[in-house]
Amino acid sequence: MGLPNVGIISPGDMGSAIGRVLRGHDLKILTCLDGRSELTRLRAQEVGFSEVPSCDELVTEADLLLSVVVPAEAASVAKLVAGSLRRTGTICVYVDCNAISPQTVTENARVITEAGSPFIDAGIIGPPPSDRGNTRFYCSGPDCSALETLGEFGLDIRLVGPLVGQASGLKMVYAASTKGTTALWTELLVASKVLGLNEALTHEFSLSRADISQRLMEGIPSMPRRSRRWVGEMEEIAATFEGLGLTPLMLQGAAAVFRLVGETNLGDQTSRQADPSLDVVLNTLTKHLQK
């Protein structure tokens, strides 16, 4: 086989960064921009995506198709693609890269494999990738070789195991450790601010938890611009935990914290702007609560 053509739905922050890495290694990258904003279209052109007019042509031209969307769209993208696979009679390896529960990804796998194409579960850990290599693509499933090939084209691909659900499960527990912790600390720092106890709490932290509190608070300023899409991700983690007999409440609470942040103008932040300071984040949330 020659160089694989890689389709990506859709070229958002993460999807376009993946496209940029692959394009930089001379792969043809494809996407379908039907119904997408002018900004997304411009960015896709800038990155070097070849645009195709429909999902039917995307599955026909691509050897691999990466689904990189917000968790709430993951199931409908799988169904859309399954429809195109059936209509065109094509085989295209589907890679579900979304932050979804093992249950959700297992259902997506059923939808795709029933339409006759191979399915790979993938979980992305790290920022939108670059050639600096601090983003890992964990994958699992009976045959992940098509995705592993992309390891030769700038991506860091790591096999977790033979079962669909393992890579997504890893993404879920890891995201609980980072984003869940950020949600908890955001909430308690806002509570402390509303109660007028910030100075006392900061002083107590300096006595008993200097290093760790500093590190955990550092994670807060980059959260607002991602808060709205993290709501769905926290709900997927809650479902993951509930499916194992563990409480979903902590992660449902994390979803509520990010929903609150997303209700303020903090949620309008984009990755092209400088992140707000911790003080600005806490002050904005405090004022929002006191409205």
Residue partners of 113: CB distance under 8 A and separation at least 6: 119
**Would you count residue 183 as binding a second copy (CB under 8 A)?**
yes
Three-state SS at 200: helix
The site for a second copy, by CB under 8 A, has a size of 62
Can you give the length of the chain in residues? 291
Distance, in Å, from the CA atom of 75 to the CA atom of 96, rounded to the nearest integer, reads 10
Member of 177, 206, 265, 277 binding a second copy (CB under 8 A): 177
Member of 37, 208, 270, 273 binding a second copy (CB under 8 A): 208
Member of 195, 210, 268, 279 binding a second copy (CB under 8 A): 195
Between 82 and 99, name the residue whose CB sits nearer to a second copy: 99
- Write down the least CB distance from residue 285 to a second copy, Å: 9
DSSP states of 229-268: HHHHHHHHHHHHHHHTTS-SHHHHHHHHHHHHHHHSGGGG
User: Closest by alpha carbon to 194, among 66, 116, 279, 287?
Assistant: 287
Between 31 and 101, name the residue whose CB sits nearer to a second copy: 101
Distance, in Å, from the CA atom of 52 to the CA atom of 247, rounded to the nearest integer, reads 44
Between 19 and 267, name the residue whose CB sits nearer to a second copy: 267
Return the axis-axis angle of helices 198-208 and 210-218, rounded to nearest 10°: 120
- Interface stretch with a second copy, choices 70-78, 92-100, 146-154, 189-197 (CB under 8 A): 189-197
Backbone angles phi, psi at 240, to 5 degrees: -60, -50
Three-state SS at 140: strand
**Cα separation values, 137 from 49, 74, 78, 118, 273, Å:** 21, 17, 19, 18, 26
- Write down the least CB distance from residue 152 to a second copy, Å: 21
**Would you count residue 169 as binding a second copy (CB under 8 A)?**
yes
**Would you count residue 170 as binding a second copy (CB under 8 A)?**
yes
- Interface stretch with a second copy, choices 2-10, 36-44, 204-212, 263-271 (CB under 8 A): 204-212
Which parts of 255-284 interact with a second copy (CB under 8 A)?
256-257, 260
Residues near a second copy, by CB under 8 A: 102, 125-126, 134, 136, 138, 160-161, 165-166, 169-170, 172-174, 176-178, 180-181, 183-185, 187-192, 194-197, 200-201, 204-205, 207-209, 211-213, 215-216, 240-241, 244-254, 256-257, 260, 289
